[in-house]
Amino acid sequence: MARARAGYPDEVCGVLLADAAAPGRVSEVVPVPNVSTDPRRQFEIAPADLLSIQRKARFAGREILGYYHSHPGGNAAPSEADRRLAAEGWSEGVVHLIVGVAHDGNAVTLAWVFREETQGFEPETLEID
């Protein structure tokens, strides 16, 4: 993702929306400012931004499918911090698109889904329009 490269060395983040009629397919990617106090190591979406996106999505017949964020200098796999955050309240089946951005600008993007039963992530196939 170009935005992940442009945001390097900070983590970038956003929301993945799906049409209500096609819930497993990303129809829109909404960039959101990373409001973390330590953006080089973690991401945080402001509650007001998330609420605004939810309202606009509902009005447009869309729903939140998941979230994306980058791992600057890292890989595209969920970190322990990602797992803890998901386990603290993000629900079963939420998609997490992670972009690993290397120091040279090369990027790898992988999709993961959180499973409450195992308190972990599984690889996920994701279609993006």
Q: 0.85 cut: is pTM over it?
A: yes
The domain locations on the chain are: 2-128
Residue 91: closest CA among 67, 75, 127, 125: 67
Could you tell me the sign of the dihedral formed by the alpha carbons of 71, 73, 78, 79, in that order? Answer: negative
- Local confidence band at 92 (pLDDT 50, 70, 90 cut-offs): confident
In this structure, the number of other CB atoms found within 10 A of the CB of residue 110 comes to 17
pLDDT digits (tens, 9 = 90+) for 6-62: 999 999 999 999 998 887 889 999 999 999 999 999 999 999 999 999 999 999 999
- Given CATH 3.40.190.10, say whether it is the number of domain 2-128: no
| DSSP bridge pairs for 112 | 96, 123
